[in-house]
Amino acid sequence: MREPVGVRQAQAQRTRSGVLAAAAAVFVEQGVQAPIRDIAERAGVGIGTIYRNFPTRADLVTAVYRHQIDTCVALAPRLLAESASPFIALTRWVDAFVEFLVTKHGLGAALGSGDPGLENLHTLMLDTLLPAGAMLLEACDAAGEVRPGITAYTLMRAIGNLCITGPDYDQADARHMVATLLAGTRPTPTA
Amino acid sequence: MREPVGVRQAQAQRTRSGVLAAAAAVFVEQGVQAPIRDIAERAGVGIGTIYRNFPTRADLVTAVYRHQIDTCVALAPRLLAESASPFIALTRWVDAFVEFLVTKHGLGAALGSGDPGLENLHTLMLDTLLPAGAMLLEACDAAGEVRPGITAYTLMRAIGNLCITGPDYDQADARHMVATLLAGTRPTPTA
Amino acid sequence: MREPVGVRQAQAQRTRSGVLAAAAAVFVEQGVQAPIRDIAERAGVGIGTIYRNFPTRADLVTAVYRHQIDTCVALAPRLLAESASPFIALTRWVDAFVEFLVTKHGLGAALGSGDPGLENLHTLMLDTLLPAGAMLLEACDAAGEVRPGITAYTLMRAIGNLCITGPDYDQADARHMVATLLAGTRPTPTA
Amino acid sequence: MREPVGVRQAQAQRTRSGVLAAAAAVFVEQGVQAPIRDIAERAGVGIGTIYRNFPTRADLVTAVYRHQIDTCVALAPRLLAESASPFIALTRWVDAFVEFLVTKHGLGAALGSGDPGLENLHTLMLDTLLPAGAMLLEACDAAGEVRPGITAYTLMRAIGNLCITGPDYDQADARHMVATLLAGTRPTPTA
DNA sequence: GATGAATGAGGGTTCATTCAT
DNA sequence: GATGAATGAACCCTCATTCAT
């Protein structure tokens, strides 16, 4: 009765992936506060399976976005190397960041909510995205391309907030306002 | 035969005020989605009293913020008349708007949530604050003090979002980012 | 400051009458379980006034229908004297009884519910309507116009039940079925 | 490898049955409007379990009575085949119908209440019992054993009303009055 | 590992009833 | 007597979470 090694692990991995895909879809439709049951149904698994793989809601949320976060992080050094100036790199990177936030209904609000259950996600973003953004911002700083006094954390948090969309304030508006915010970080032209 | 007119009304008014004060306090601590029971307990009244005075949650939220909203609205024409330039007036008015938002934990998030139960508040703000902000923004526009293409609604919504505070992103940060956003609305200096 | 004697009593009487009229109207619309507050509002008085005049709901229900009940009671001897046969008198009297029940939305159901709070009304009907009906039934009995074994109480209760109308079973249906029931009380024709 | 199929389903089925039994008992004592919590307590399960199995009150009411309704329905064609005349079949079938109604305290009242939440039950009875009764009544009609003009729906509704028992109007009274009603449906003997 | 039935805390809402003015 | 604000018990329903199979 011994099965090929790893068959079970492979099945487990597939279950996990299915849950992540389902969660991503449900989050888009209902936001990250969607009932766990809805995700289980969408994934075609039992509720218990969700809890086994992701004990807390934040674990699930974090896992859902981890891949995209990692992609975003990896982009930073590449943009810095390729772009004509640090600020251009920052701008492009923020575009990617916004793209990520804006397509994830409710994520921005979740981050802004101070919900203690989302500490993990918060931590993840701090530990990974923040250094990426900070690297770019520091490069801008060093090149005198942004006003002093702006911290990467605050800026990214502000961008996150600006990406909380809703009726009458859509993704295009969010992009517009983020661009305006970035414009506001430029040093005041000296006479 | 004139007895103290309105002894009961006065008491009722005091109850109502007490509820409003309690609600304001609870909203700061827990956000506008706080359980009605908590507000009743804080106010030292029965649940029924809350429902008597404010049939829906939105009624309560609206009442809590109405006074401050009205004050803010009334400020706009005054600032426009007094200030050296429309943009200075806009800046000062936004300061007051931010002051309002930033001290009301959860209001920004509530407005951004698209919660259908808060239509009234949304409507109130649209009907009163929006015209006030729009007046100032139009004055800036007419004076060439802001880039074209920025609508009052989007700008105010963005400001509202920037005022969603939390741990590690406090009121000072919110003010800073709002100021940065406003700086970003200035026309690009032509060479 | 002494007012004419009885002015206050007259006022009180008017209040009481107004409440009864309002209650009758509300009972027709919503049934006898309607919220007390609705009746107070319709009467233009405070809730406390209802409770002062009619401490229990049953008191109010009873008072509302007392007049019509009395009228119905008074009808019995007159019909018996006027009609060609006791059964004809019974039939006509039942018509009046049904007319009373059928136009009082929810009263039949209330009587049939065994609700202990309506004891008073139950008692009132037993004490007044029952003797009236019994008189007629006994006359029929004595004349051999109905089968033996039918008691006035049971018959009237059955009639009351048949008058519980609703969608798809209207007043005409109720009348039809009551007539059928009465037809069923006739002695079986002997060959 | 076949393990006991459906161990959990069996348990779930037992839970469901327990809920149905508890509900039936509570309905007898308190009527079909009894608090869901009372049923849960009687069944020894959590409230959530009731809602899981019977999302609406009407679902529960319907389930409680479905079996007996089905039995009653199945009886009709058998009685028609076996009985000496259609009217005898109708009489016997009505006996069974009354037996069903009379032992279910509150069901008659529930059906007569027009409560929109009981649409399902109403529909169930219309869809199943009504055709059964109609078949018998039509057979009587065809045989000239009942007066014309009596519809199955109205007759059954009337019977349902007559079965609303209470103190002083018990099951025997209900049966007596139903028999009397049926007697009243016979054609008037022509001289 | 997966399952999903069961649980029950939590929050919403209504309305009968009291009582100070 | 009349008033109606206040009360809170009682219901409703949802959904996060556990655990036996």
What is the per-residue pLDDT across B118-149, written as a single tens digit (0 to 9) for each?
A: 666 777 777 888 999 999 999 999 999 999 99
Which of B155, B95, D179, D131 minimizes the C-alpha distance to A181? B155
B-chain CB neighbours of A150 within 8 Å are 176, 180
- Return the structure tokens found at C57: 């709901």
Q: Which domains are assigned to chain B? A: 1-55 (1.10.10), 62-191 (1.10.357.10)
Q: What is the pLDDT of residue C82?
A: 96
B154, A176: Cβ pair inside 8 Å?
A: yes
Q: What is the pLDDT of residue B108?
A: 61
Which residue among D154, D165, D180 sits closest to C169, beta carbon to beta carbon? D154
Which of C29, C175, C25 minimizes the C-alpha distance to C102? C175
| Cβ–Cβ under 8 Å, residues C27 and C107 | yes
* pLDDT mean over D48-57: 94
Q: What is the pLDDT of residue C4?
A: 60
pLDDT at C22 over 90: yes
- Return the structure tokens found at A57: 């809601």
* pLDDT mean over D40-61: 94
D109 touches chain C (CB under 8 A): yes
**Chain C meets chain D (3+ C-beta pairs below 8 A):** yes
- Return the structure tokens found at D168: 């002083």
* pLDDT mean over D164-191: 88
- State the DSSP string of C29-50: HH-TT--HHHHHHHHTS-HHHH
| Cβ–Cβ under 8 Å, residues D187 and D147 | yes
Name the band, by pLDDT with cuts 50, 70 and 90, for residue C3: low
Q: What is the pLDDT of residue A184?
A: 96
Q: Nearest nucleotide to C49 by CA–C1' distance?
A: F2
Q: What is the pLDDT of residue A7?
A: 80
**Smallest CA–CA distance from C190 into chain D, residue:** D189
In terms of DSSP H, where are the helices of chain B? 7-30, 36-43, 47-53, 57-82, 86-102, 107-112, 119-124, 130-142, 152-162, 171-183
Residue with tokens 């804006």: A102
A153 touches chain B (CB under 8 A): yes
Of chain D, the end-to-end C-alpha distance in Å amounts to 80
Q: Nearest nucleotide to B12 by CA–C1' distance?
A: F5
**Smallest CA–CA distance from C163 into chain D, residue:** D161
Residue C105 CB contacts under 8 Å (≥ 6 apart), including other chains: C27, C28, C29, C30, C31, C165
Torsion of CA A63, A64, A68, A70, to 10 degrees: 0
Name the band, by pLDDT with cuts 50, 70 and 90, for residue D147: very high
User: What span, in angstroms and rounded, lies between the C-alpha atoms of D31 and D164?
Assistant: 11
Could you tell me which residues are beta bridge partners of residue D166?
D169
Whose CA is nearest the C1' atom of nucleotide E11? B35
pLDDT at C105 over 70: no
* pLDDT mean over B6-24: 90
Which of helix, strand or coil describes residue D18? helix
Q: How far is the CA of B103 from the C1' of E19 (A)?
A: 40
D169, C154: Cβ pair inside 8 Å?
A: yes
* pLDDT mean over D110-122: 63
Q: Which of B175-179, C9-13, D14-18 has the lowest mean pLDDT?
A: C9-13
Chains that touch A (3 or more CB pairs under 8 A): B
Name the band, by pLDDT with cuts 50, 70 and 90, for residue A114: low
B-chain CB neighbours of A112 within 8 Å are 109, 161, 164, 166
Question: Which of B130, B161, B185 is the best residue to mutate to test the A interface, defined by the most A CB atoms within 10 Å of its own CB?
Answer: B161
pLDDT at A43 over 90: yes
Name the band, by pLDDT with cuts 50, 70 and 90, for residue D137: very high
User: What span, in angstroms and rounded, lies between the C-alpha atoms of B86 and B93?
Assistant: 10
Rounded to the nearest angstrom, the minimum Cα separation between B63 and chain A is: 23
C157, D169: Cβ pair inside 8 Å?
A: yes
- In angstroms, how far is CA C55 from the centroid of its own chain? 21
Rounded to the nearest angstrom, the minimum Cα separation between D83 and chain C is: 22
pLDDT top residue among D186 and C166: D186
pLDDT at C151 over 60: yes
- State the DSSP string of A159-177: HHHHT--BTTB-HHHHHHH
Q: Which of A115-119, A144-148, C65-69 has the lowest mean pLDDT?
A: A115-119
Q: How far is the CA of C14 from the C1' of F2 (A)?
A: 13
Burial C139-166 (b: 16+ CB within 10 A, else e): bbbeeebbeeebebbbbbbbbbbbbbbb
pLDDT at D123 over 60: yes
Could you tell me which residues are beta bridge partners of residue B166?
B169
User: What span, in angstroms and rounded, lies between the C-alpha atoms of B122 and B110?
Assistant: 9
Residues in chain A: 191
D144 touches chain C (CB under 8 A): no
Residue with tokens 């109609």: D134
A161, B166: Cβ pair inside 8 Å?
A: no
Q: Which of A95-104, A124-133, B76-85, B113-122 has the highest mean pLDDT?
A: B76-85
User: What span, in angstroms and rounded, lies between the C-alpha atoms of D112 and D109?
Assistant: 5
pLDDT at D3 over 50: no
Could you tell me which residues are beta bridge partners of residue A166?
A169
| Cβ–Cβ under 8 Å, residues B103 and B45 | no
Residue B61 CB contacts under 8 Å (≥ 6 apart), including other chains: B23, B27, B32, B107, B110, B118, B120, B121
For residue range D64-93, list pLDDT tens digits in order: 888 888 889 999 999 999 999 999 999 999
pLDDT at A107 over 70: no
C154, D176: Cβ pair inside 8 Å?
A: yes
Name the band, by pLDDT with cuts 50, 70 and 90, for residue B3: very low
Nucleotides of E under 7 A from a protein CB: 1-21
Residue A185 CB contacts under 8 Å (≥ 6 apart), including other chains: A146, A147, A150, A155, B180, B183, B184
Rounded to the nearest angstrom, the minimum Cα separation between C7 and chain D is: 44
pLDDT at A191 over 70: no
Q: What are phi and psi of D9, to 5 degrees?
A: -60, -40
C162, D161: Cβ pair inside 8 Å?
A: yes
A109 touches chain B (CB under 8 A): yes
Question: Which of A161, A171, A182 is the best residue to mutate to test the B interface, defined by the most B CB atoms within 10 Å of its own CB?
Answer: A161
Q: Nearest nucleotide to D11 by CA–C1' distance?
A: E5
Which of D111, D114, D147 minimizes the C-alpha distance to D130? D111
C-chain CB neighbours of D149 within 8 Å are 176
- Return the structure tokens found at C72: 């119905």
Of chain A, the percentage scoring pLDDT greater than 90 comes to 56
D177 touches chain C (CB under 8 A): yes
pLDDT at C18 over 80: yes
Name the band, by pLDDT with cuts 50, 70 and 90, for residue A144: very high
User: What span, in angstroms and rounded, lies between the C-alpha atoms of B188 and B181?
Assistant: 14
Q: How far is the CA of D9 from the C1' of F20 (A)?
A: 13
For residue range B161-177, list pLDDT tens digits in order: 898 887 788 889 999 99
Q: How far is the CA of A55 from the C1' of E1 (A)?
A: 14
10 Å Cβ neighbour count for D119? 14
B164, A164: Cβ pair inside 8 Å?
A: yes
- H/E stretch holding C22 reads helix C7-30
Which residue among A114, A184, A189 sits closest to B184, beta carbon to beta carbon? A184
Q: What are phi and psi of B6, to 5 degrees?
A: 75, 30
pLDDT at B1 over 50: no
Which residue among A113, A177, A185 sits closest to B154, beta carbon to beta carbon? A177
- H/E stretch holding D163 reads none
- In angstroms, how far is CA C123 from the centroid of its own chain? 12
Of chain B, the percentage scoring pLDDT greater than 90 comes to 57
Q: How far is the CA of D64 from the C1' of E7 (A)?
A: 23
A-chain CB neighbours of B166 within 8 Å are 112-114
Rounded to the nearest angstrom, the minimum Cα separation between A131 and chain B is: 16
pLDDT at B48 over 80: yes
B166, A109: Cβ pair inside 8 Å?
A: no
Rounded to the nearest angstrom, the minimum Cα separation between A130 and chain B is: 13
